[in-house]
Structures are given as structure tokens and as C-alpha cells.
Amino acid sequence: MIKTIKKVLPSILMVAILIAGDESRIGTSGGNQVLIPVGARGIAMAGSERVFSEGLESIYWNPAGLARSAGASTLATNMGLFDDINVSYFGAASSFGDIGSIGVTVKSIDMGDIPITTIEDMDGNGGGMFHPTLSTMGITYANAFSDRANFGVTAKVVYESIPRASASALAFDIGVQYTGFAGLDG
């Protein structure tokens, strides 16, 4: 049985890789806005924040960190990426004691107006413009299992739309934090 799995599994993986890299799929990925980080601290630390994050920023980096927050809190941020692209993020959370912490977040990306290009008008000089919509809305639950272990899960809806096409998806982030392992905090 194990020998059969060792022979079949690599074949299945190779076929999956070949299909996933098919030329007809170029430019068809979406939902990349979930990869744009939020919060100055996590960005400044190049993502290492996910290990010991806490509070509202942790919902992006590691939802388990929300269990470390006490009371109610809100976070609103707006950052310019490059060119005319702006990312706006709002989050609110509250701790409910032994029940755990619950938070909600909304992230929106504004790309401004983009010229419509066609085969006949490749430079977009025809005057037509479109405004893409990219947004993510989520709800997070986090709780401490013990004084050393936290667990958190975020369910979010990812939405994108451009002229004549739109897509939405449900995504989940699951995180665990354990402190005190081998004398390390985080």
C-alpha cells in the first residue's frame, strides 16, 4: 500500500503542477489583496509580527493574537502604496472574558480610475475609465486555551470587481500562539 502511494502521489502532483501552470490560466488569479499587510508595526518588522502579534493588527498576521487583547479596541488606518493606490483598513474588537474575543475587519483598496484599453485603443486615449473594487470583510474569534496557548480563526469574504467581471470567495485564517516553549516568548 505504501509503495503504491509513493508511486502514485508524485504522478498526481506532477499532473497538478502541469495543469496549474497551463498557459490559458495566465492573468486569472485573484484575491491578491489579502496579501497586502496592515499595521505599521507588522510592516516595519517585515512580517515577523505574526509570531507574537496581539490586538487588532494580529487579525491580519495571526488571529490567535486577538485573545491577548483586553477590553474593546478599534483601529483605523489608511496607507498609500504606490502611484494612486490606497489601502484603508478598519477593525473593531472586544474581549468577552472566558468566552473569548470577537473582532470584525474591513479592508478596501482604492486604485483610482484606470483608462480602458482595447485592441483598437491600446493606449487608453478613448476617454473611458473604470474603477476596480477590491475589498475584504472578516469576523474573527480568538480564545486562550491556557495561560500559554491561544487559538484564533478568521472567516472573511474577499470581493473583486472590474467591468464585466466580478468574483467573491470565502477564506479562512487559522492561527495558534504558544508561549514559553524552550524559554522563548512568542
Backbone angles phi, psi at 123, to 5 degrees: -90, -10
Residue 9 falls inside a structural domain: no
Quote the CA–CA distance of 41 and 46 in Å, as a whole number: 9
Residue 45 falls inside a structural domain: yes
Residue 12 falls inside a structural domain: no
Residue 86 falls inside a structural domain: yes
Residue 100 falls inside a structural domain: yes
What is the domain count for the chain? 1
pLDDT tens per residue across all 186 residues of the chain? 677 777 787 888 778 777 766 666 666 666 777 777 787 777 777 766 666 677 788 888 889 989 988 889 999 989 888 878 899 999 999 999 889 999 999 999 998 888 888 888 888 788 788 888 899 999 999 999 888 889 999 999 999 988 888 888 899 999 998 877 666 655
What pLDDT score was predicted for residue 20? 65
Burial class (CB in 10 A: 0-12, 13-18, 19+), 20: exposed
Residue 127 falls inside a structural domain: yes
Quote the CA–CA distance of 174 and 155 in Å, as a whole number: 9
Within 8 A by CB and 6+ apart from 109, the residues are 33, 36, 85, 86, 87, 88, 134, 135
Residue 2 falls inside a structural domain: no
Residue 19 falls inside a structural domain: no
Residue 94 domain boundaries: 30-178
